Amino acid sequence: MLDLAIIGGGPAGLSAGLYATRGGLKNVVMFEKGMPGGQITSSSEIENYPGVAQVMDGISFMAPWNEQCMRFGLKHEMVGVEQILQNDDKTFTIKLEGGKTETAKAVIVCTGSAPKRAGFKGEDEFFGKGVSTCATCDGFFYKNKEVAVLGGGDTALEESLYLANICSKVYLIHRRDEFRAAPSTVEKVKKNEKIELITSASIDEVYGDKMGVSGVKVKLKDGSIRDLKVPGIFTFVGLNVRNEILKQDNGQFLCSMEEGGQVSVDLKMQTSVSGLFAAGDLRKDAPKQVICAAGDGAIAALSAMAYIESLH
């Protein structure tokens, strides 16, 4: 039996693994079906992580985390988790893809979040064929071409700046006339000659053919439609938490949840179920910042260690 199972390998999961193994837990496994690093690896630049003065892309930023966190004996299982169940003896069963299972005394869930779909016509049809949620992954395909970006938060504006370095022009579309992003980022966007702001507007439709997107119809404030002949659009309209593995066979969740699907936790990252912890974007009121997720992971690991100690 595992002492501790960590589900998810982003900043929260890696930090939890580091603290748990360095704190003396011997049998700790982090289940992450991809390469560890989490959603931040798709970010084009990180400039606000304390102590890291150099501006870095997400992949470069996360690379040393992996190495450091494995140093004390954290094991990485590259397999997807389908469900977490609690057993009669208060231990946990982790159902893995392929029908295998593991049992653990305690579990920390750090499954994070995924980009939301915006819900406009043509989005699903052209997803991956001109509609993208990752500028660092797909920006290169639009070198010296015009693209559109949808959103008004930090991610949308930061990725617009990134795309402006690659593309000939970026149309930034936002439903309000004010942006939610940091004032310094808004200022940079407004000063960038390659970025045109289209505010108080929404996307009516993305259209194209079997080759992919060929244009975006934008509904303006006065109700008129502006047709942008662009081969690509990047959408940044928020995040959905990944809570599916906590769903039980009866349709209920294993622990108490908030209205938006986030997990209810206390200041120790403890859920309503003893021995089950949640950290990072998944937990209630998460600021969805790397530093906060890392802090959550450390707290959850310390709490899990205290819980496991109390079992003896």
Catalytic residues: 134, 137-138
CA distance 108 to 293: 13
154-164 and 183-191 are packed helices; what angle lies between their axes, rounded to 10 degrees? 30
d(CA 254, CA 247): 6
DSSP symbols for 238-305 = -EEE--GGGB-TTSSBSS-B-TTSPBP--TT-B-SSTTEEE-GGGBTT----HHHHHHHHHHHHHHHH
Kind plus residue range of the DSSP H or E element containing 135? helix 135-138
**Beta-sheet strand order (sheet of 212-219):** 202-209, 212-219, 225-228
223 phi and psi, to 5 degrees?
A: 95, -10
From CA 229, how far away is CA 207, in angstroms rounded? 10
CA gap 221, 253 in Å, rounded: 42
- Give CA–CA dist 119/274, Å, rounded: 38
CB atoms within 10 A of CB 169: 17
- Residue 162 main-chain phi, psi, to 5 deg: -65, -45
- What φ, ψ does residue 37 adopt, rounded to 5°? 140, -35
Per-residue CA distances from 217 to 116, 204, 205 (Å): 20, 5, 5
